[in-house]
Structures are given as C-alpha cells and as structure tokens.
Structure 1
Amino acid sequence: MSPERAGRLGVGTVGAGRVGTVLASALAGAGHALTGISAVSAASVERAETMLPFVPILPVPEVVRRSELVLLAVPADELPDLVAGLAATGDWQPGQLVLHTAARFGTDVLAPARAAGAIPLAIHPAMQFTGTSLDLGRLAGTWFAVTAPAPVLPIGQALVVEMGGEPFVVAEADRPAYAEAIETAVSFSSAIVDQSAGLLGDIGAPSPGRILAPLVRSAVENALARHSPTLPDDPL
C-alpha cells in the first residue's frame, strides 16, 4: 500500500454534522469523488444539501458499500456500535479505507472493520467547526492528529495534507490524553470568555465580545508562543 492509494477515491461520509460535511467538501476540493452522505435529522439534511448539494443522501449501508474511503464523522459515543453493526451486516469491504474523526479513539475501535479486510485510519482535526464554508479556509494550517498502522500511516498523512492541514502522529495509547488536551482547551477558553463577557455585561459595557476580542486573542497568542519552538530564522 502506497501513499498514491489516497490519490483518487470514491469517498462516502457517514454523518452530516459540522465536521463530516466540511471534511467531505475539502476532500472533494482535492479531487476525490463524493459517492454519498448519510443524514438523519432535519438539521443534518439541510447542512448536507447546503454544503454538498450534488451528493446523494443515502442510508448508511449504501454509503459504505459504494465507497473506497468511508469517512465516519459521528459522535465518539456512537462510533463503536456503528462499526460493529456494519461488520455484523457484512458491509465492510476488503481494501476499503475507513477513517474516523473521534479525538479519543485510535484505530482499535475500527477492529471489526479491519477484521473484514478494511484499512483503519484515525484522523482528528484540532479545530472548532461551524459546519459552513467558512471552515474550509480555516483548515489551512490546522493540525490533525493521525493514528494508523505504520504501513498505511502515509495515506492518513497524505489525506490531511490534501485537506490543507498539518498532520502529526499520535500513538494509539496516547489518544485519550490527546482528547483530554483538546477538550480542556475548548471548554476552558469558552467558559472563561463567557464568564468575562457576563461580568462586563453586568456593568453595562457595550458589546462585551468586541471589547474582549483583542485582549483574549493577544493573551492566547502569547500563551501559545510560550509552547511553540522558535525557529532559527524566527526574529522573535
């Protein structure tokens, strides 16, 4: 298996949430063909029709059966049962790439698909998604955690690069710690902004979000700089 295997694929997406529709759109922009997407709720159907208007909305088994790369963009709690259920009904295919986007899982959760001959990949973008076209531009430079068996790791990395991201390898055993780091960053930053905005609102400050924006951005940038290595040619 070579990185070229990830070159031109028929991509099916299970889950028309904020992440699935955006990543599918990014893969289409890289030249892959979108074979179908599953959507259940009214919101997910509307999102799929908006972001991917020419992609058929299909039942999950049909999406899987007609695709060379299956993108599983579902909540982490639903992923184990979904993978096992598709294995029980014989929908996984030998040689098929199966990629999930859950932060806390590596490829062990895809064991039922792997037993059927599928090739497992775990790729998580360290980004908050809106589920709109705005996210496509934000993918550029976003870091993606990649976990995969060594022989197919280059495929996962190549897919990330095609979507505009920066891949970095996370070991199977380290995925829970990675997920905790991501969740901590998101939850704490959101909670702190909400609390600060509330205090400003209580004293009658106009547009607390606009007041806080420069402060929060500069504070976060300074904190991030302390944890980013300075390159030799970096004037800072």
Structure 2
Amino acid sequence: MEKINYNIGLIGAGRVGRALALRLNQVGYRISLIMDCYLENAKQVAKQLPNSCIISEMGNWPLLDVLLLTVPDDQIPTVAQNLCNSTVDLTNTVVAHTSGATTSQVLIPLKAKGAIVASLHPIQTFSGIEDEANKITGTYFGIEGEEKAVTILTELVQRMKGIPLVISPETKPVYHAACVFASNYVVVLMALAEELLKKLNISLQKPWKILLPLLQGVVKNMHHQDPSKALTGPILRGDVKTVQAHLQALAQESPLLVQIYRELALQALDISEQSHPELQTKYKRLKEILQTSICEKVQQ
C-alpha cells in the first residue's frame, strides 16, 4: 500500500476512533499518534498500528497534519480547551471532531494556535467489532468547516472509499436530526414492535429477530428506489378495516402506542396520496379515522 505523506493523530480510542484509525491506516495514511485518557484503549488500537505513538496526556507531540477528536460530544469543548492550554504545536494542523450534532465553531479557540478547524461526521454506526473499519467503504461523511480543512478531509474520505457530503454549519442540526430519524428511531420502533410480539407468547428469547428479514427487505428496497416508492402496507392500499383493527388492538395495550401509530400513519398517508391519486376516497376516510382524538373510541 502506498504511504501518504500525512501525519494523522487521534484523540479518543473508542469505537469511532478505532474504526477511522484502522481504515486510514489501511488506505495508506500514517497514524502517528493515538491519545486516550484510558491508556489501555489506545493500546488496543495500536496493536494493529505498530508505528503509532501511544499517549495519555498532551505534551511534546510530533507535528501533525490532521488531528481527529473522536471523543463523545460533551467532551469536545474540554478537549479543545486542553489543547489550547497545552504546548502542542497546531500550526497548519487540520483539527476536526466527529460529532454529528456539534459544528466546528466549538473548535474556534484552536485557531489561535494556528489550527484549521472543521467537523467530520461518519453517517454510520460502530459497535466495536473487529471488522468495523470495513463499514467505512460507501459511508457518507458530513463535512463542514474552513475551506482548506474541508478540502483535506474530503480527500481523506475519498481515499477511504467513503462519500463526502459538504454541509453548512447552519444546517447541521437538521442534518443530524435526519440521521437520528434514520438510525436511532428505527431501533425505537423495533423495540416497540418487539413489545407487541411479546404479547403473542412466542417461545423465542429475542422476538425482534422475527422482524429482521422484514427490516432488511425494506432496506434492500431503499437501495433501488426512494421512500415514496418503497412504502408498502395497509396505508398505501387504503385498507380502512385493517387500520381500524390496528387502532383498536393498540388501544387495549397503550394510549402512547395509539398516538405513535397515528402520527406515523398520517405521514405514510401523505406519501401515499402523492403516488396513488386513484385511492383518494379511501385515503380521505383513513385520514378521518387517524385524526380522531386518541381518547375517542375508534368508530367502525
């Protein structure tokens, strides 16, 4: 593998830091430094990066071209302040954190030390398993910050076979909310579905596994078509009786489940109306049912 003339350092040897360090090393970048307040974490990553310097404190570092802050969001300001107060030379160093919610503005104090600041957020989940670095291929990265930093980080992402997505600081909250909807809240919906499956007294330790092929099928469909085309189910068909049955059954379990079902069904209805105008009569009836107060009994 061709070695690239960049010295890269990471502060934070957790799941994200580990995946990025290993992937950057795989594609030819030199990981010169790994820092973590828990030295054992850094050592675990360094086992696969034998030429890296492992440290637990800021001090006499080698000059870095890129420094990635792969720490939890609430630690970024503290790490930035500690860097400001340290003797670390950040002249012309691209310093980027990997938070999806926080902009590069939190790193502005580092400009006084000559740093070029940005943020680099992988739109991916990392669980810490051995082959996590391979998940980066095909993963989008939200990038924002100073122009020179964005250029260099775009190069890093492309080299890792990722896909750069340059965004503005102003749009980052909406960008991150979209990521949360597509990841965290899918897990929440699966947990709610599992609770309903448990009512069936199914003899499985993990009832949610029943739904995995269904979920995987949805994801596969989304590879080939946009959400409006991938939608299936009773709302799309205008199946009034089935939706009424769902609401009545959920009302026996939890008012909250009824509320969640209604809100999601109304969103599904908006999508359906755009693609199937011939079902407008059925959709109108569905909307009437779904907009009924949660406290009211669903009418037959």
Q: TM-score normalised to the size of structure 1?
A: 0.83
* Deviation for aligned residue 1:195: 2.3
Q: Structure 2 vs 1, CA of residues 174 and 186 (structure 1 numbering), >3 Å: closer, same or farther?
A: same
Alignment equivalent of 1:25, drawn from 22, 27, 30: 22
Q: Structure 2 vs 1, CA of residues 17 and 94 (structure 1 numbering), >3 Å: closer, same or farther?
A: same
Alignment equivalent of 2:90, drawn from 51, 69, 93: 93
Q: Structure 2 vs 1, CA of residues 212 and 42 (structure 1 numbering), >3 Å: closer, same or farther?
A: farther
Q: Superposition pairs for residues 29-178 of structure 1, below 5 Å?
A: 29-41=26-38, 44-45=41-42, 47-49=44-46, 52=49, 55-62=52-59, 65-178=62-175
Q: CA RMSD in A?
A: 2.7
Amino acid at match of 1:32: Y
* Deviation for aligned residue 1:65: 4.7
Alignment equivalent of 2:186, drawn from 162, 185, 189: 189
- Alignment identity in percent? 27
Q: Structure 2 vs 1, CA of residues 104 and 60 (structure 1 numbering), >3 Å: closer, same or farther?
A: farther
Structure 2: runs of 5 or more not aligned: 230-300
* Deviation for aligned residue 1:173: 1.0
Q: Is the 8 A contact 1:36 1:63 kept in 2?
A: no
Which residue of structure 1 lines up, in the alignment, with residue 276 of structure 2?
A: none
* Deviation for aligned residue 1:227: 4.4
Counterparts of 1:114 and 1:8 in 2: how far apart (Å)?
23
Q: Structure 2 vs 1, CA of residues 172 and 223 (structure 1 numbering), >3 Å: closer, same or farther?
A: same
Q: Structure 2 vs 1, CA of residues 56 and 94 (structure 1 numbering), >3 Å: closer, same or farther?
A: closer
* Deviation for aligned residue 1:149: 2.0
* Deviation for aligned residue 1:162: 1.4
Superimposed CA distance per residue, residues 160-189 of structure 1 (whole angstroms, 9 cap, x where no aligned partner): 111221001110111122222222322211
Q: Is the 8 A contact 1:38 1:59 kept in 2?
A: yes
Counterparts of 2:191 and 2:44 in 1: how far apart (Å)?
27
* Deviation for aligned residue 1:223: 5.6
Aligned positions, number: 224
- Higher relative contact order structure (alpha carbons within 8 Å, sequence separation ≥ 6): 1
Which residue of structure 1 lines up, in the alignment, with residue 226 of structure 2?
A: 226
Q: TM-score normalised to the size of structure 2?
A: 0.66
Counterparts of 2:175 and 2:189 in 1: how far apart (Å)?
21
Counterparts of 1:26 and 1:140 in 2: how far apart (Å)?
9
Counterparts of 1:157 and 1:77 in 2: how far apart (Å)?
25
Greater CA deviation, 46-55 or 185-194? Answer: 46-55
Q: Structure 2 vs 1, CA of residues 171 and 162 (structure 1 numbering), >3 Å: closer, same or farther?
A: same
* Deviation for aligned residue 1:78: 0.9
Amino acid at match of 2:135: R
Q: Is the 8 A contact 1:101 1:123 kept in 2?
A: yes
Greater CA deviation, 11-20 or 203-212? Answer: 203-212
Q: Structure 2 vs 1, CA of residues 110 and 169 (structure 1 numbering), >3 Å: closer, same or farther?
A: same
Q: Is the 8 A contact 1:104 1:179 kept in 2?
A: yes
SS for the counterpart of 2:53 is coil
Counterparts of 1:52 and 1:100 in 2: how far apart (Å)?
21
Counterparts of 1:130 and 1:36 in 2: how far apart (Å)?
23
Greater CA deviation, 190-199 or 68-77? Answer: 190-199
Counterparts of 2:10 and 2:146 in 1: how far apart (Å)?
22
